[in-house]
Every structure is written in structure tokens, then in C-alpha cells.
Chain A
């Protein structure tokens, strides 16, 4: 006897996330740093910022930290980063 079993799975909804425009250099630009809230995430980003500042004439650095590693960053954080920064680096630390 043929048994027709049903697929129980759900796949991710497709989405389009185009690449942001490349900026080429960080000279004169504002760098954003978004830490995920885990221990040492902020320290890791500080090292990244130091390294980038050694290579480029970064105009300013904006630092934000999520409320917790498991939660999505609030819209206000994204808006703040988008309006203030030319490039953003995010990192998980632990």
C-alpha cells in the first residue's frame, strides 16, 4: 500500500539584502562599532578600531552595544548607525 507522507519542514522565506555601497577608504569617515553584548565583544571591537585608526584617518567612532547577545538590535540602534556612520563593524565576543 502506498502511503503519502507530508513534508513537515519549513524553509526560510526568501529575502533580498543588497550590498551597501562600498566606500573604498575610511579616511575622513565615521566608523560604527556594534557589540553584541557578550563579555569581551566591546574589547574586541576596541582592538579593531585601534587597528583601523592606525591605517586610516578615521574622523569619529560611534560605539553601541546590544541589550543582550540573543536579542535583535533595536530599530533605533540601526537608525542611529545608519544616520551617523559610513561603515559599521559588528562582533560577537565571549
Chain B
């Protein structure tokens, strides 16, 4: 019980800020990087920004029997380096992760080593300076870096997804430190993700996806929509990540301009990618993606990535010159974990 506040988290007195940072390491409460020491006064500012009482329940995880309150979210957000106003994004993201369709327990446990990708849409991108432009998956933006990191710290500290214990990732990937981007709506001629998913254009949303790392799709010399589609679909059809699961295609502005110039919109892109991103059953068996021996007909029996074009989520992100788009496969090899979107309530 913290003295003089409404908070209930146990307090640990430490002699000075440097010792406080070390204390987090000693207790196993970090992601391996130093955290900002969370004190009661700081946490209260985060709760005020979220207009929540400390005991408000944000997320329940039934398999691990964890109940995560606003107070614990605020503590981890502060530790991650967030500003208090980022709480609104975190609350919406955690609500999305708690949706049955996301399968939270499985996605943060599996050997597959997924990270929770957050895609932010709408005006809150500007309000919080969430980057959707140059180096979109890279460093340099506080909101991207710390919102994604807060989700990881909550996953570690509140959901018990400790590496080798309840997180059994064989390899994991760097997105498990932080994995938060905005869609670059300003350089997109198409409907942004949240509008496609039924939200008003002026709404702000966060979309969660249990995701592998981004796979770069470089195509500099084709200069046509057709060339971009061929390269994207080829990457999507690679055996390593091939599955009937959902996926994200993150198109860079240079590719977007060519696709738009040649008359392509999102529905056409999705349909073309779904049609081309396919392998024969024989290939899938040769690569150990399906069990059993190759049988008559397998050489001509096609399996597509995703159950249909709508399983391919196309967004625009990145900035400046460069023909580098990205393909992000799902952790889920089928329907066990699906994309979920929630509105961020201001």
C-alpha cells in the first residue's frame, strides 16, 4: 500500500535513481533495457490522463488468470518511457488484445515467437507524433518506441510472458522490444485501414496483430504496378512463413505512387496478391509444410495464402525515396489469432 495515495501496488524504497534502475533489473522487471523508475506521483499523472481509477480493470486473461488494472498499466507505461497521454492508445490496444479473436495466451506463448504489432490510424497520430513515415519500423520516435515497449513490459510483468517460462518463443524477433507504427494516411490515395474496418475517417484507432517481423520487399527497377505485385506476391508465397493465416502488406510511398498511377486500389491489390501468393500442395509437402508423401494431383493443387483477399491487410507506411515495402505474416498459421481494431477514446 502506498502512503497517501489511492494506489495499491507494493512500494520498494531504494536509495537514489541509479539504484532504482538497477533494482528493476535485480527483480526481473525489465525487457533487458533500463526503465524509468515508477513512483506514485508519476503513476497518478498517467491515471489522470486516462481518467481512470487505479482499480479499473483493463484486461482479463482467463488462461493465466491475470487481471490487469489501470494502475499496473500506468506503472508499466511510465517505466517504458511513455508520456501520460499515450495511455489512451495503450488502453485501446489492450482491450483489442483481450478480444477472444486475438487469442492472447497463445500468441504471447507460442514457439512461433510473435510480437504484438500495433497500427495506429486517425488524428491521434498527429496529436501524439506517432511516426508513419521514414524509418517507420526503426528508432527515433518516442511514441512509437515507448507505446510498443509498454505493451511488451505489460506482457512480461502483468501477463507473465517471461522468456523460457510462459513465453516459449524459439527465436522471437526484434519487434518484441517494441512494434508500433502509424499508417501514412497523408501519402495514401486509398481508404486507410480503420475506414476499411468500419470506423469513421475522423476516428482514431489501434489495430493489433500477432505478427512476425517485417520481410523487406525490394523492387527498384520494374517501375510498374505489375512488377511490385509480382515481388510482393513472391515474398508472400515463400515457404518459410507460408500459411493460411492473415497478413499485412506495408506499402512504401514510392510503390504507392506507381500503383496509384497505374490505376490500382486496395481491393485490386488484395485480389491480385491473393491470386498470386500460392504454392502447390507438392511444394508444401517438399518443404515440410504439409505432412505426408506427394500424391497424384499434388503438383497441380494450389494452396493460397489466407482464406481470401480480405485476409491481406494493405496499409501505407514509410517515407521518402526507396522501393522498399514490407510483408508481415501472422504468427497464427490459420484462424487462431485474427486482427482486431479498437477505437481510441479521447
A residues sitting closer than 8 Å to B (CB atoms) are 1-13, 15, 39, 67-72
Could you list 20 further interchain pairs (A-B, Cβ under 8 angstroms) beyond the known A7-B10, A10-B68? A3-B17, A5-B12, A5-B24, A5-B37, A5-B39, A6-B40, A6-B75, A7-B9, A8-B9, A12-B65, A13-B65, A39-B291, A68-B106, A70-B105, A70-B109, A70-B336, A71-B106, A71-B336, A72-B62, A72-B63
Contact indicator B67/A13 (Cβ below 8 Å) = yes
Which residues in B have their C-beta under 8 angstroms from that of A3?
Answer: 13-17, 19-20, 37, 39
For residue A83, give the distance in angstroms from its CB to the closest CB of chain B: 23
Contact indicator A2/B14 (Cβ below 8 Å) = yes
The complex places the Cα of A6 from the Cα of B11 at a distance, in Å, of 5
The complex places the Cα of A21 from the Cα of B15 at a distance, in Å, of 54
Q: Which of B81-121 contact A (CB under 8 A)?
A: 103, 105-107, 109-110
Main secondary structure, interface of A, reads loop
Residue of B nearest to A39 (CB): B291
Q: In the complex where A70-B103, A70-B332, A71-B106 touch, is A7 in contact with B158 (Cβ < 8 A)?
A: no
Chain B interface size range:
35 or more
Judged by a CB distance under 8 angstroms, whether B233 is at the interface is no
Which residues in A have their C-beta under 8 angstroms from that of B17?
Answer: 1, 3
For residue B110, give the distance in angstroms from its CB to the closest CB of chain A: 7
Contact indicator B38/A8 (Cβ below 8 Å) = yes
- A6 contact from B16, B39, B159, Cβ within 8 A: B39
Residue of B nearest to A3 (CB): B20
Contact indicator A9/B158 (Cβ below 8 Å) = yes
Q: In the complex where A2-B13, A15-B65 touch, is A8 in contact with B153 (Cβ < 8 A)?
A: yes
Contact indicator A10/B20 (Cβ below 8 Å) = no
The complex places the Cα of A84 from the Cα of B163 at a distance, in Å, of 39
Most buried by A among B23, B24, B66: B66
Contact indicator B157/A9 (Cβ below 8 Å) = yes
Which residues in B have their C-beta under 8 angstroms from that of A15?
Answer: 65
Contact indicator B12/A7 (Cβ below 8 Å) = yes
Q: In the complex where A70-B105, A71-B103 touch, is A5 in contact with B11 (Cβ < 8 A)?
A: yes
- B38 contact from A6, A12, A69, A71, Cβ within 8 A: A6
Residue of A nearest to B111 (CB): A94
Q: In the complex where A70-B332, A70-B337, A71-B106 touch, is A6 in contact with B2 (Cβ < 8 A)?
A: yes
Contact indicator A4/B40 (Cβ below 8 Å) = yes
Which residues in B have their C-beta under 8 angstroms from that of A7?
Answer: 9-12, 75
Judged by a CB distance under 8 angstroms, whether B79 is at the interface is yes
Can you identify 25 A-B contacts, CB atoms within 8 angstroms?
Answer: A3-B14, A3-B16, A4-B40, A5-B20, A5-B23, A5-B24, A5-B37, A5-B39, A6-B9, A6-B40, A6-B43, A8-B79, A8-B157, A8-B158, A9-B158, A10-B66, A10-B157, A11-B66, A15-B65, A67-B335, A68-B335, A69-B336, A70-B332, A70-B337, A71-B106
The complex places the Cα of A6 from the Cα of B46 at a distance, in Å, of 14
The complex places the Cα of A8 from the Cα of B154 at a distance, in Å, of 8
The complex places the Cα of A10 from the Cα of B29 at a distance, in Å, of 11
Q: In the complex where A4-B12, A7-B12, A12-B64 touch, is A68 in contact with B334 (Cβ < 8 A)?
A: yes
Most buried by B among A5, A11, A68: A5
The complex places the Cα of A2 from the Cα of B23 at a distance, in Å, of 13
Judged by a CB distance under 8 angstroms, whether B72 is at the interface is yes
Which residues in A have their C-beta under 8 angstroms from that of B158?
Answer: 8-10
Which residues in A have their C-beta under 8 angstroms from that of B76?
Answer: 8
Contact indicator B66/A2 (Cβ below 8 Å) = no
For residue B3, give the distance in angstroms from its CB to the closest CB of chain A: 8
For residue A79, give the distance in angstroms from its CB to the closest CB of chain B: 17
